[in-house]
């Protein structure tokens, strides 16, 4: 930005600011940008003008411009809490999670009463797997916000992380009595109810959230996953297609909306239309974040080179003797949720869901040349992980962790816990990839959801799993196939429970009866008896598979140790 050669006079700047203020009051932030930009050119060191310019750009979706203006605002005034807060929002929209958290942290240090900053920080650290830190942020939002929307919803979110679902539901219902047009509370209540299997109530909440706040159109994604869409839902389908034209709809909401329409079209048997929307969703994702398949392949090679048979064989001398952890790994959409539902029906098992622990510790270890061989590192990582598991199941003999991406860290996990069970879930490659293509994943996961990138990712995953199969003990690295599990559940389930060192319990045959809240995109399917209708789903999409067709003939999971249980 070039500066005016002479200091601007108030007579030059004031009319521009007055015009911008009028535009903002009229709800026309796009029209306020030009006079604010002109004012900023005249007074480039004014943090207030830069803040207002950044806010106007943020409101119309010009996120990079907003970030630039807000960065100039905090450079001019490093104690400008509101500018740091809105900079955090802009960075979050762009997917720069670490920088967004730093901005929120600075904002709350400068102004501890900034409730929404606490709330947003809590939401971000929760998606990164920092459970206790998220609870702390949401509690601060609750304390500073009191009976405001963010205060009440912050309290509910803290309770949900602590698995106090009934209390959270009560807080949300009280919030909606006090504020019947709180779309955020309706959306969260819908998610709570769907996780608990109360799908009709959940649908009503999502419908209400969208009606109040059309920019929450991404909530259609959760709405259509509460049950199958039928021909009686014609109005729903029309509403979703119309919602794509909502002015100001963010990319994240648009992505989820395309996936929702695709799921509805799939339910109705229109697979060509479904694939159009699944491909459109993937295009939105690609526009927001890229994935370097070649770099990922190199990192897989590094993992394989590092986790040698000799190092793995030292696990009994280096690791912790606890047998508590049960790691359920595999590609996303390979049956990990079903296996956790089965195992956690056992009365001696606690369910941890998807814990981000190893993604963090594994990444730190992977970046270090020696940490994995150091006894102090392994002792600390084992103690910390057991602390996490004990918080989940204080008296449980086993606690599950079904983070699929732990397939990256199976070698490290085994060395840290040589008696832990690692259950690798496998499913036909093209069915797995197609299901990934149809599912929303949080942007914090560096993971492709379609095209040649997903095929390449799958190849790298298979190469790493082949390595684990060769170096990990067969009684610790257990492999099951989704197709076997759904074809003849009882024999496979009995082998899983025996491999975990648990006495048989008939309840494990009824995973659909598991009362725990299920935090997975397949909430409705999880509440159904084990079924086989997802086997060979790819055949319905055969004409539209595109690059995923390369996985059709991939039967490697069928001829490499299928009966290792």
Average confidence (pLDDT) over 126-138: 86
Q: How many CB atoms lie within 10 A of CB 517?
A: 19
Burial (CB < 10 A; 0-12, 13-18, 19+), residue 226, is buried
Residues 462, 463, 468, 470, Cα dihedral to 10°: 110
Residues pairing with 423 in the sheet: 328, 478
Find where tokens 């106007």 sit: 56
| pLDDT confidence tier of residue 127, bands split at 50, 70 and 90 | confident
From CA 424, how far away is CA 431, in angstroms rounded? 17
Do the domain assignments include residue 94? no
Q: Which two tokens stand for residue 23?
A: 């535009």
Task: Round the average pLDDT of the chain to a whole number and report it.
Answer: 90
Find where tokens 């769907």 sit: 194
Do the domain assignments include residue 362? yes
At residue 388, does pLDDT exceed 60?
A: yes
Q: State residue 2's pLDDT score.
A: 42
Backbone angles phi, psi at 325, to 5 degrees: -70, 135
On whether the CB atoms of residues 281 and 220 are closer than 8 A, the answer is no
Quote the domain boundaries for residue 320. Answer: 315-454+473-558
Domain total in the chain: 1
421-430: b or e for each residue (b if 16 or more CB lie within 10 Å)?
A: bbbbbbbbbb
At residue 161, does pLDDT exceed 90?
A: no
Average confidence (pLDDT) over 55-60: 90
Q: State residue 32's pLDDT score.
A: 92
Find where tokens 């910390």 sit: 384
Q: State residue 283's pLDDT score.
A: 95
Do the domain assignments include residue 419? yes
| pLDDT confidence tier of residue 369, bands split at 50, 70 and 90 | low
- Show the beta-strand stretches assigned E in 37-151: none
Three-state secondary-structure class, residue 474:
coil
At residue 528, does pLDDT exceed 90?
A: no
Q: Which two tokens stand for residue 84?
A: 């740091």
From CA 522, how far away is CA 439, in angstroms rounded? 9
Q: State residue 555's pLDDT score.
A: 54
Do the domain assignments include residue 240? no
Average confidence (pLDDT) over 470-499: 96
In terms of Cα–Cα distance, which of 191, 185, 172 is closest to 517? 191
Do the domain assignments include residue 373? yes
Q: State residue 222's pLDDT score.
A: 93
Burial (CB < 10 A; 0-12, 13-18, 19+), residue 297, is middle
Three-state secondary-structure class, residue 2:
coil
Distances (CA, A) of 415 to 324, 359, 372, 375, 512: 14, 16, 9, 10, 34
Q: At 170, which helix (H) or strand (E)?
A: helix 165-178
At residue 525, does pLDDT exceed 70?
A: no
pTM of the model: 0.83
On whether the CB atoms of residues 268 and 231 are closer than 8 A, the answer is yes
From CA 168, how far away is CA 154, in angstroms rounded? 10
SS3 letters across 352-385: CCCCCHHHHHHHHHHHCCCHHHCHHHHHHHHHHH
Highest mean pLDDT of the ranges 89-93, 314-318, 372-376: 314-318
Listed as own residue / partner, the contacts of 520-526 with beta carbons closer than 8 Å and 24 or more positions apart are 520/337, 521/225, 521/439, 521/440, 522/225, 522/337, 523/194, 523/195, 523/197, 523/199, 523/225, 523/226, 524/194, 524/199, 524/225, 524/226, 524/227, 526/337, 526/338, 526/341
Three-state secondary-structure class, residue 526:
helix
Q: State residue 181's pLDDT score.
A: 94
CATH number at residue 329: 3.40.50.300
179-206: b or e for each residue (b if 16 or more CB lie within 10 Å)?
A: beebbbbbbbbbbbbbbbbbbeebbbbb
Backbone angles phi, psi at 14, to 5 degrees: -55, -45
CA 370 to chain CA centroid, Å, is: 31
Percentage with pLDDT > 70 across the chain: 92
CA 316 to chain CA centroid, Å, is: 34
Do the domain assignments include residue 424? yes
CA 51 to chain CA centroid, Å, is: 31
Q: State residue 273's pLDDT score.
A: 97
Q: State residue 12's pLDDT score.
A: 84
Q: State residue 60's pLDDT score.
A: 86
Do the domain assignments include residue 449? yes
From CA 511, how far away is CA 434, in angstroms rounded? 24
From CA 221, how far away is CA 521, in angstroms rounded? 9
Angle between helices 115-127 and 149-161 (to 10 degrees): 30
Percentage with pLDDT > 90 across the chain: 72
Q: State residue 560's pLDDT score.
A: 38
- Show the beta-strand stretches assigned E in 221-280: none
From CA 324, how far away is CA 521, in angstroms rounded? 27
Q: State residue 153's pLDDT score.
A: 95
Count CA within 13 A, CB hemisphere, residue 402. Answer: 22
322-337: b or e for each residue (b if 16 or more CB lie within 10 Å)?
A: bebbbbbbbbbbbbbb
Q: State residue 140's pLDDT score.
A: 97
Tell me 439's DSSP state: S
pLDDT digit string, tens, across residues 47-56: 999 999 999 9
Do the domain assignments include residue 503? yes
Tell me 554's DSSP state: -
At residue 374, does pLDDT exceed 90?
A: no
| pLDDT confidence tier of residue 370, bands split at 50, 70 and 90 | low
């Amino acid at each position: 930005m070039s500066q005016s050669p002479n200091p601007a006079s108030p007579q030059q700047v004031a009319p521009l600011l007055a015009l911008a203020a009028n535009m903002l009051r009229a709800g026309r932030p796009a029209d306020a940008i030009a006079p604010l930009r002109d004012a900023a050119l005249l007074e480039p060191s004014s943090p207030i003008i830069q803040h207002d310019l950044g806010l106007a750009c943020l409101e119309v979706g010009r996120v990079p411009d907003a970030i630039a203006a807000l960065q100039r605002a905090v450079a001019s005034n490093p104690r400008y809490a509101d500018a740091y807060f809105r900079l955090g929002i802009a960075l979050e929209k762009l997917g720069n999670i670490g920088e967004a958290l730093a901005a929120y942290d600075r904002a709350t240090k400068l102004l501890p009463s900034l409730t929404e900053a606490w709330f947003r920080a809590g939401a971000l650290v929760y998606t990164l797997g920092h459970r206790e830190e998220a609870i702390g942020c949401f509690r601060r939002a609750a304390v500073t916000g009191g009976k405001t929307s963010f205060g009440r919803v912050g309290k509910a979110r803290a309770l949900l992380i602590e698995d106090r679902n009934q209390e959270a539901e009560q807080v949300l219902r009280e919030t909606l009595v006090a504020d019947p047009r709180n779309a955020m509370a309706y959306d969260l209540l819908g998610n709570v109810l769907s996780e608990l299997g109360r799908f009709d109530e959940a649908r009503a909440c999502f419908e209400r959230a969208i009606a109040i706040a059309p920019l929450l159109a991404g909530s259609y994604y959760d709405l259509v996953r509460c049950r199958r869409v039928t021909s009686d839902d014609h109005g729903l389908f029309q509403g979703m297609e119309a919602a794509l034209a909502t002015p100001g709809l963010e990319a994240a909401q648009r992505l989820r909306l395309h996936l929702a329409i695709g799921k509805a079209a799939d339910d109705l048997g229109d697979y060509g239309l479904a694939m159009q929307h699944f491909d459109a969703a993937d295009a939105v994702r690609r526009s927001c974040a890229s994935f370097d398949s070649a770099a990922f392949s190199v990192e897989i090679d590094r993992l394989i080179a590092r986790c040698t048979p000799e190092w793995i064989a030292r696990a009994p001398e280096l690791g912790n003797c606890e047998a508590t952890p049960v790691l359920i790994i595999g590609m996303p959409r390979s049956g990990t949720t079903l296996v956790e539902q089965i195992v956690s029906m056992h009365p001696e098992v606690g369910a941890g869901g998807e814990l981000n622990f190893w993604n963090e510790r594994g990444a730190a270890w992977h970046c270090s040349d020696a940490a994995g061989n150091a006894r102090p590192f392994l002792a600390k990582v084992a103690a910390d992980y057991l602390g996490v598991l004990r918080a989940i199941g204080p008296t449980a003999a086993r606690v599950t962790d079904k983070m699929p991406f732990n397939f990256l860290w199976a070698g490290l996990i085994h060395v840290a816990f040589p008696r832990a069970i690692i259950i690798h879930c496998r499913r036909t490659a093209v069915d797995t990839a197609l299901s990934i293509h149809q599912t929303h994943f949080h942007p914090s996961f560096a993971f492709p959801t379609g095209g040649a990138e997903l095929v390449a990712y799958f190849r790298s995953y298979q190469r790493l799993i082949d390595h684990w199969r060769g170096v990990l003990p067969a009684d610790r690295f257990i492999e099951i196939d989704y197709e076997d599990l759904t074809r003849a559940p009882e024999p496979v389930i009995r082998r899983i429970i025996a491999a975990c060192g648990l006495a048989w319990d008939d309840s494990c045959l009824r995973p659909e009866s598991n009362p725990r809240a299920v935090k997975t995109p397949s909430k409705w399917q999880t509440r159904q008896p084990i079924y086989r209708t997802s086997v060979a789903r790819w055949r319905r999409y055969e004409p539209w598979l595109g690059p995923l067709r390369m996985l059709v003939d991939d039967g490697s999971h069928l001829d490499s140790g299928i009966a290792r249980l």
